Structure 1
Amino acid sequence: MSDDEERDYSHLQSERNRKHKKAGGWQAMGLDHTVFKGIEKKGYKQPTPIQRKTIPCILDGKDVVAMSRTGSGKTAAFVIPMLQRLKRRDTKGIRALLVSPTRELALQTFKVVKELGRFTGLRCAVLVGGDAIEDQFSTIHENPDILIATPGRLLHVIVEMDLRLSFVQYVVFDEADRLSKW
């Protein structure tokens, strides 16, 4: 199957899922089968309230600011539509930038992206302080689709590598209230 045929098939399957499955479920969101498979493998049965409210808006290309309690599924609420929107590889390089206030949160987000995106073929990299900068430079040279970073390390890499983010289509400021204190 050619890339165009695969895209058409995937689009038809997403539309079929959206029309024929019960309202409020993952399939009603019209997600690509590779994204849906990652959700199933992760064990998510139904979207949480924050996911039901934000994912359709993000899929429609709207900017979203969302707040919800810890453990409510906020990370999946921005990762799932990101994976859906990035599944087409129309450009090479970093197309999604996720900025997290701490190393721990960045690594946790990286883990969620890897788990949910395991069937999409999208490549993800994480830049955090405390890891060897040379290894992180090498990671950037591999042209990941998704970059997760803490503000300090991101700034360091942008300056040292003259990193261009001109192909970024999707930006997340995770825990933005904490980022503003940085």
Structure 2
Amino acid sequence: MSTVTLSIGPKSYTIACGDGEEAHVRALGAMIAEKYAKLGTARAPLEAQNLVFAALFMADELDQARKRLAEIDAAPPAPVAEAVDPEAITALQNAIAALEADLAAARDAAAAAAETAAPSDLFGGADDQEIDGEALAARLEAIAAEAEAHAAALEAIAASA
């Protein structure tokens, strides 16, 4: 069991709470202190009354939030999205397939180049036959980025269906 000291208005209150709940209790105390501060100069002479007013502010906010939640729950479900054009989906699927084929071909070319390279060359080409690794990597990255963009567009269409 832990204790937390909360400062609300001119007083401090020591509150017992479970281990690990200290931060949560402090956050709740800060909410009460905020509502207490809203009383400003309209504070009652008795501290208990001021705390009741602060609690009433919070209860009012809770009541309003519950009403909004009930309205949301009672609202009819959102209309179903209009039918998605099957041709658009097919076009995106074809574009993704083409990009995947390009990517596979580029990977195969890179693998073939690596197989024909001299064994002592770590970068896939003999000293007299050098492969532009940076250009190959850039091309692979471009193909992958384009494939991801098409996949994202297809997912967006599918999600709206």
Q: TM-score range by the shorter chain?
A: under 0.3
Give the TM-score normalised by structure 2: 0.22
**Structure holding more helix per residue:** 2
Give the TM-score normalised by structure 1: 0.21
Q: Which has the larger radius of gyration?
A: 2
